[in-house]
């Protein structure tokens, strides 16, 4: 395995995390990635994905020619809030923020690993497989960049998504789908002191419905949670509208839909009992995927993990990623750990050794002998 340039890799990571790129504001990061790809002799292609969710950013796509079966290497450029003004700090071989922001290793560690692998191949004139490189936007807000990406331009049948916490060597072969539920109970307004019996309290109806719902951990594959309940009225008004926003996740498609239907039934029964009306709007945000552990995409990956001396961990995920979208679009995709920890918090960090090994794994994938 040819060595990566650890000093260069670290320098680029520190540069990238200091470029503001919260979801919806990825333009500067996208522009910088286009510059870097051009410096590598590649031709970046951008799109108008940002217009689909009021972002100033765009997906960045580039082809890295090689011999054999192509593969997608991907990571996302957007971060969660608070992600502006990141000031990276290095202590005892670990990179942190200064504690006022996230670090942005999610997912700039993946971006840097892919870019460093390309550089090493070019510098050492190594035989390698073709790569279709995708740096997406809007992943944190529901994989909106991947959803808008035109996959018809891809030749690859498999995709490696560098975007998970956990050690390098972690492979996520399955993840749940998600239905987002937006529901309103509509009652009847009345004066709470003079004629409360003339009203139908939407809050009361909603409370009765929620009390009957199975929530949180449903089974090993399924979860359900209500994140928002909203109804703001003066205390002398019987409220005529109460809203909830909830989510259902499951790695089983039938269970996903069944749990959403359970929520609807609880709401509808409570509305029918009180004479209220239900406004129901479920949105399938993404669907689940399950990749067999003996499939080529996994076995090739595990051999590469072994090659760089890391421990292999094949597991299932609990959240969505761009892999959900690519699998839905017919491209077999798995998610790889990059060693980032405590993501989405101001305590986020990544060990420099994990940053290095992320690049080594990308390099191993591109130069692996197996061609299927």
Active site residues: 78, 139
Angle at 141 between CA 316 and CA 116, to 5 degrees: 70
C-alpha torsion angle, residues 265, 267, 272, 276 (rounded to 10)? -150
Q: How far apart are CA 147 and CA 286, in angstroms?
A: 9
Q: How far apart are CA 161 and CA 349, in angstroms?
A: 19
Retrieve residue 238's tokens: 């019987």
Strands 241-250 and 237-238: unpaired
Least Cα distance to 214 among 250, 240, 170 occurs for 250
SS3 94: strand
Residues 125-158, buried b or exposed e (16+ Cβ, 10 A)? eeebbbbbbbbbbbbbebbbbbbbbebeebebeb
Q: How far apart are CA 145 and CA 61, in angstroms?
A: 12
Residue with tokens 């920890």: 341
Question: Concatenated DSSP letters for 226-275?
Answer: EEEEE----TTEE--EEEEEEEEEESSHHHHHHHHHHHHHHHHHHHHHHT
- Do 263 and 213 contact (CB within 8 A), yes or no? yes
DSSP letter for 198, please: G
User: For residue 186, what are the β-bridge partners?
Assistant: 241, 277
């Amino acid at each position: 395995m040819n060595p990566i340039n650890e000093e260069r890799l670290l320098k680029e990571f520190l540069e990238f995390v200091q470029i503001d790129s919260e979801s919806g504001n990825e333009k500067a990061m996208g522009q910088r990635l286009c510059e870097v790809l051009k410096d590598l002799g590649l031709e970046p292609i951008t799109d108008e994905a940002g217009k689909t969710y009021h972002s100033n950013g765009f997906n960045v796509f580039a082809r890295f020619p090689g011999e054999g079966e192509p593969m997608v290497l991907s990571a996302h450029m957007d971060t969660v809030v608070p992600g502006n003004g990141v000031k990276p700090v290095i202590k005892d071989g670990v990179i942190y923020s200064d504690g006022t922001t996230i670090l942005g290793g999610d997912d700039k560690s993946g971006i840097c690993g892919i870019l460093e692998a390309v550089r090493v191949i070019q510098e050492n004139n190594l035989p390698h497989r073709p790569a279709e490189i995708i740096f997406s936007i809007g992943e944190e807000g529901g994989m909106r960049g991947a959803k808008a990406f035109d996959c018809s331009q891809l030749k690859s049948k498999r995709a490696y998504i560098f975007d998970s916490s956990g050690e390098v060597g972690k492979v996520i072969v399955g993840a749940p789908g998600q239905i987002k539920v937006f529901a309103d109970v509509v009652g009847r307004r009345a004066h709470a002191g003079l004629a409360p019996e003339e009203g139908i309290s939407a809050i009361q109806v909603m409370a009765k419905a929620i009390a009957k719902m199975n929530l949180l951990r449903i089974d090993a594959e399924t979860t359900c949670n209500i994140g928002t309940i909203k109804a703001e009225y003066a205390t002398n008004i019987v409220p005529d509208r109460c809203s909830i926003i909830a989510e259902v996740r499951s790695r089983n498609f039938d269970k996903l839909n069944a749990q959403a239907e359970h929520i609807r039934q609880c709401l509808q029964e409570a509305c029918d009992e009180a004479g209220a009306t239900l406004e129901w709007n479920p949105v399938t945000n993404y669907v689940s995927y399950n990749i067999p552990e003996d499939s080529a995409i996994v076995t090739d990956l595990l051999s590469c993990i072994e090659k760089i001396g890391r421990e292999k961990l094949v597991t299932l995920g609990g959240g969505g990623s761009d892999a959900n979208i690519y699998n839905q679009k017919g491209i077999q995709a798995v998610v790889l750990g990059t060693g980032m920890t405590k993501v989405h918090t101001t305590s986020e960090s990544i060990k420099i050794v994990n940053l290095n090994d992320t690049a080594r794994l990308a390099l191993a994938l591109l130069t692996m002998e197996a061609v299927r």
